[in-house]
Amino acid sequence: MEFKGYKRADGRYGVRNHVLVVSSVSCANGVVDALGRIFPDIVTVQHAYGCGYGPDDWGTSFNMLSGLVNHPNVGAVLAIGLGCELLKAEHLVDAVKGKPAEALVIQQAGSAATTKKGIDIVEKFIRQLAGRQRESVPVSELLIGLKCGGSDAISGVTANPSLGVAADMLVGEGAAVVMGEVTEMIGTDHILKGRCDSPELGDKLQKLILGHEKYVKDALGELAGLVIAPGNIDGGLSSITEKSLGCNAKSGTTPIREVVDYSARPIKKGLIIMDTPGYDIDAMAGMAGGGAQIIVFTTGRGTPAGFPAVPVIKVTSNSTTFHNMQGDIDVNAGSILDAGKTVREVGREIFDCIVRTAGGGLTSAEINRSSVFNCLKKGATF
């Protein structure tokens, strides 16, 4: 099976061809925002950090942002810095390989002049990208992120198993799928260990999950078993182990081939586990930094959140949320309960939606311009 995508110099294929304007530090966000208002069709990334880092936080942010500027869905990059920050705009531009990239520094000219220069650069980039054409690409070139958030008691019955079917279909086509949210694997380490390709990989994954479990216990004490959101409890979930069992269902049934660090680019095809927290935006940032061209996000309670430069497909577990949030949800897995569809049929719907999105079809989050960004500070979230 094929889709039409944009070939990049590093051999990967993008499903979008965005101009990306990104701040290297929060102090530069005003200029990035101004350029986004002038050019509403570009992708802008503003974040709250970039300075005042410890070594671990600097490395985490740089790895994620350098993954984003090199993302296959990005065709050109303008980085805006202040000048005195630790994570400089020049660092991000130096990381870019095989695509147009420039940096501007506000302290060298002031905000107004930097914005004016930025307008000229963005216009140039738009002209350069305008001639790029999509070409036929096998589905095996896709890396798809698997995410859940705002889960309810039936997420593990409808939406997540359906996404698991789609994940198995993608792996069957030779593609890669990446699942994060390691805190939402707590209580199931022995199950996931048994799915790993080798005993050594199983030991690595189990150690990772148990490390997250210890962090949660150290932070929350007796409440560690309830490291789930209030909305999860309102939706009928009772504990992190119950949520984890449902969460894991979206990975399908294939063997785990690789375990990678936060925002690291997977080497292998098949099912990949990434070390991300459960928090939605930080988890999506890690998958995007690792090169996922599309993220599929299941939800029970409902959320409109997308991500910059990466289409996010929303799948809801129940028809009530689908009808309450019309225009935010792309696939209704609630049809399994109230319309007689099977998990496999909805899984096929999700797979078809992924291929359609890869070829240029817009997701609800893209249409609504609902992208949200956060740059993870190490150890800051569950």
**Residue 325 belongs to a domain:** yes
**Beta-strand relationship, 2-7 and 13-14:** antiparallel
Total count of domains within the chain: 2
Q: Please tell me the predicted confidence (pLDDT) of residue 48.
A: 87
The candidate with the shortest Cα–Cα distance to 102, out of 113, 112, 83, 117, is: 117
Residue-averaged pLDDT of the chain:
92
Backbone torsions φ then ψ of 327, nearest 5 degrees = 95, -10
Rounded CA-CA distance 203/210 in Å is 10
Q: Please tell me the predicted confidence (pLDDT) of residue 221.
A: 75
Residues 290 and 344 grouped into a single domain: yes
The candidate with the shortest Cα–Cα distance to 81, out of 55, 51, 58, is: 51
Q: Please tell me the predicted confidence (pLDDT) of residue 183.
A: 87
Of the two residues 131 and 260, the one the predictor is more confident about is 260
pLDDT higher than threshold 70 for residue 26:
yes
Q: Please tell me the predicted confidence (pLDDT) of residue 231.
A: 52
pLDDT higher than threshold 90 for residue 33:
yes
pLDDT higher than threshold 70 for residue 117:
yes
Q: What angle do CA 196, 177, 258 make, to 5 degrees?
A: 35
**219 — pLDDT class (breaks 50, 70, 90):** confident
The candidate with the shortest Cα–Cα distance to 34, out of 87, 129, 92, 113, is: 113
Q: What is the per-residue pLDDT across 344-361, written as a single tens digit (0 to 9) for each?
A: 999 999 999 999 999 999
Token pair of 242 as six digits: 């119950």
The candidate with the shortest Cα–Cα distance to 298, out of 356, 362, 350, 229, is: 350
Domain boundary among 74, 102, 130: 130
**Residue 115 belongs to a domain:** yes
Residues 198 and 71 grouped into a single domain: no
Residues 123 and 173 grouped into a single domain: no
Residues 124-152 have a mean pLDDT of: 95
Domain boundary among 70, 101, 130: 130
**Beta-strand relationship, 135-138 and 2-7:** antiparallel
Residues 304 and 186 grouped into a single domain: yes
With a CB cutoff of 8 Å and minimum separation 6, the contacts of 245 are: 156, 187, 188
Q: Please tell me the predicted confidence (pLDDT) of residue 149.
A: 87
**287 — pLDDT class (breaks 50, 70, 90):** very high
**Residue 4 belongs to a domain:** no
Tell me the percentage of the chain whose pLDDT exceeds 90: 79
Rounded CA-CA distance 107/97 in Å is 26
**256 — pLDDT class (breaks 50, 70, 90):** very high
Residues 124 and 262 grouped into a single domain: no
Q: Please tell me the predicted confidence (pLDDT) of residue 296.
A: 98
Rounded CA-CA distance 290/40 in Å is 26
Q: What is the per-residue pLDDT across 54-109, written as a single tens digit (0 to 9) for each?
A: 778 888 999 999 999 999 999 999 999 999 999 999 999 999 999 999 999 999 99
Residues 236 and 322 grouped into a single domain: yes
Residues 121 and 221 grouped into a single domain: no
Q: Please tell me the predicted confidence (pLDDT) of residue 360.
A: 98
The candidate with the shortest Cα–Cα distance to 302, out of 181, 167, 155, 157, is: 155
CATH of the domain at 115: 3.40.50.2300
Rounded CA-CA distance 67/201 in Å is 24
Min mean pLDDT across 107-121, 235-249, 363-377 is at 235-249
**Residue 376 belongs to a domain:** no
Q: Please tell me the predicted confidence (pLDDT) of residue 216.
A: 80
Token pair of 161 as six digits: 């198993």
**Beta-strand relationship, 312-316 and 176-179:** unpaired
**Residue 2 belongs to a domain:** no
Q: Are 308 and 295 in contact (CB under 8 A)?
A: no
Domain boundary among 70, 102, 130: 130
**Residue 379 belongs to a domain:** no
Q: Please tell me the predicted confidence (pLDDT) of residue 377.
A: 65
Residues 219 and 109 grouped into a single domain: no
**Residue 305 belongs to a domain:** yes
Range of the domain at 352: 138-367
**Residue 11 belongs to a domain:** no
Instruction: Name the β-bridge partners of 294.
Output: 144
Residues 57 and 148 grouped into a single domain: no
Residues 69 and 158 grouped into a single domain: no
pLDDT higher than threshold 80 for residue 130:
yes
Residues 267 and 360 grouped into a single domain: yes
Token pair of 247 as six digits: 């969460």
| Distances in whole angstroms, Cα of residue 318 to Cα of each of 93, 158, 283, 312, 341 | 44, 8, 23, 18, 13
Residues 243 and 151 grouped into a single domain: yes
Q: What is the per-residue pLDDT across 177-198, written as a single tens digit (0 to 9) for each?
A: 999 999 889 888 999 999 999 9
